[in-house]
Amino acid sequence: MGCGSVATTQLLLQINSKFGPGVLWNIVRGKYNTPREESRIFMFFDLNSSTTIAEKLGEDQFNLFLMIFLELITQMSALLRGLFMKVRQVSTG
């Protein structure tokens, strides 16, 4: 694999990560040239007692717990033809 193809792959992965899966292809296809109304639902998760849970599990197990949780939510969303645009962890503690 040449240097150019590695750079191209990295660029596409970054675009996919920033804007969500399939968005670049939709831009190329011209999907966004004609505006249309869409129904969207935004979900926010607040894990109660996350600090307490993290302290009990430890850092590695808590990160594994979050990874599994987000993977399950992502799978369910995909089954319903939804997607996560961005996942962000915010700590208030």
Query: Which amino acid appears at position 42 of this protein?
Result: F
Q: Retrieve residue 37's tokens.
A: 């109304």
Residues of the chain with pLDDT under 70: 1-3, 84-93
- Angle made by CA atoms 20, 31, 4, in degrees to the nearest 5: 55
Q: What is the pLDDT of residue 55?
A: 92
Q: What is the pLDDT of residue 92?
A: 53
CA distance 13 to 27: 15
| pTM exceeds 0.75 for this model | no
Q: What is the pLDDT of residue 88?
A: 61
